[in-house]
Structure 1
Amino acid sequence: MAVGLLYRIFVSVLSWLALLARSQASKNAEILVLRQEVSVLRRTNPKSRISWTARAVLAALSKLLPKTLRGHRIVTPGTLLRWHRRLVANKWRQPKAPGRPPISDGLVQLIVTMAQENRTWGAVRIQGELRRLGHRVAAATIRKVLRARRIPPPKHRDDSWRTFLRTQADTLLATDFFHIDCAVTLARVYVAFVIEYSTRRVHLLGITRYPTAAWAIQLARDFTADLETTGRRFTHLVRDRDAKFTAAFDAVLSAAGITAVTTMPQTPKMNAIAERFVGTVRRDCTDRILVAGERHLRVILNGYIAHYNAGRSHQGAGMSLRAPDDDPNVIPFPAQIDQIRRKRILGGLINEYEPAA
């Protein structure tokens, strides 16, 4: 640094000696040219970077100018004060404290593999899968890994509306229908399901091409009988205003101690949990398979719902990032990275990850 400063001073002195031998007219002409160059430089590059040696020479030469001209130079008094403050700040700047230890290369590769094999998974979903394998990694760290590998995030999904019975989520159910069009016959098949609010566990009630009110009533009878057999108790069931949900349907639920809560007209967000499951099963499964018929659809949904209940982490389940069948009181021991195996569901359409046996 000192050598660079001495070199610039030496060059400046030589330039000053050369000026002594020149005529006044030549000097005036050069001043006009230099002023024009400075004017162009200020317009085209208002925030030019100057080395510290050049700053030192400019600061010394500016002392030779009259006070009325010092404010019109590139190096103004304000600039000199700013340089001084920067030097003081750099002198007293403390080194940054070390952050969290970096994750292992094997865990980084596992994150990248999960993201590449499952294009619809975001950072929070991958975080849930890693947590089920015993590895606790922050979602921000996962996003950083994916950005470094230039893996784009999945499409943004709108947040679901929170229901009015949050405090009763442990005893709350929701039900709805959705339909699938068969690939060959184009026949429309209807699916009825119930989902538990607290755990996101899904129960497949029935599949038919001809949904009627009587069919829905029979599904309610079968479902309440299953609840009685297992000894589980629920108090409310959220449903929309579909014509298949009649007073007799509500009476069957009432006999089992379940009160039907009807949503307002054309307000699907009041049944957001059920609506979200419909979107999830379409994105993950039915939109990616050509369904041959009712029997084929039953096999597909049975396989998917088994995965949904036992092998898929859920962000919405109290942000616990676990599957409905996972024990919330058990923290899995971290699995060895090289011992994690992929389990293909529905012929590889869906992937689960688990420690090797």
Structure 2
Amino acid sequence: MSRQHSPAEAFRAFLKLGLTSFGGPVAHLGYFRDEFVVRREWLSDRQYGELVALCQFLPGPASSQVGFALGLMRGGPLGALAAWAAFTLPSAVLLVLFAVGALAFDGPLWAGVLLGLQAAAVAVVAHAVWGMARTLTPDAPRLAIGIMGAALALLLPGQFGQFGAIAAGVVAGAVWCRRSLGEDPPALLLRVSRRAGVIALAMFVAVVVGLPMLNSLVPSLWVGIADAFSRAGAAVFGGGHVVLPLLQAEPAVAAAVSPEQFIAGYGAAQAVPGPLFTFAAYLGFEMGAGWTAPLTALLALVAVFVPGMLLLVAALPFWNGLRARPLARAAMAGANAAVVGILAAALWHPVITSGVAGPASLAIAVGGLLMLALAKLPAWCVVLTAAAAGVLAGLLGIP
């Protein structure tokens, strides 16, 4: 780990990812690894695996939490906020523009772009799984844990399978991995004091308990939006897709957004880069009126992210102390191996099953993987090339 740098560095790095990271939460973890482990060398594969495992354990948007923590490590609190803003705002702005009708994701040209972007996500995730597997499952015990994690994630789709796989990896690692660990990797440079962690935990409790009480005492559009979106953000395990049904079930959202509007926004959210949680900006805009709509969009966007980030800050001060213990190190080695299994399962479903629909997408995915693995090209270059190839395939009529 390098010493702390300026928040501007984190902003620039994550803005590039916020503009090019298509494919959903699992793909984002692949983009992050390519950018910050392989290219920039901000941290090692083992450190990255630990961070992913921690964020998978916590409620909230796991990929955005990983990005927030990376920004924190590189640029302190302002770096964390810069990383979050740069990764989040591009897709939020696109979805708000979609809500006002300024963008229309339709037609054969856009279909070709989507084909290429989905194929690029296959290449990025496959490259990440292979690279992490070489580092995090180097021996028989951890390989077995990785296979077990993949099986659990496939047999129990959604948050229960992912959480169960990591929990099983923790237990199996504590039993099987005590003798197979090398040197303790460098500690994550997490500049969060224990006092700050306790304050963050208190703020989390105040948000999830206080906002419903305030909404019942002083009902208003603004408090209702903050309550609904923060509650959904606090209840999410397993990634951005899980937040969509939670938001749809919120009475405040259901009363203001029609099913047709919700489905249209959901479709647009699949087509833009960045975290799926930015769907909240679209819903918040639809819940506002006139000049207040951009403000309600911003409120919904911030509210849905706040609980997960507060929990992450609450956990970080205690992380390095815990991981220094031999038993905890073995358990975390098992959790890291399980993360590889979870990513491998997600590579198959939904990444490959939705991203490879015919010869064209298969060829683009294989070509993208070769660009990453052999040519060592950055992920954003692969994304742009894949999008252009998808358009070409559409114009030529190749399925």
Query: Whose relative contact order is higher, 1 or 2, with alpha carbons under 8 Å and at least 6 apart?
Result: 2
> What TM-score bracket applies, with the shorter chain setting the length?
under 0.3
More strand by share: 1
Q: TM-score, normalised by structure 1?
A: 0.23
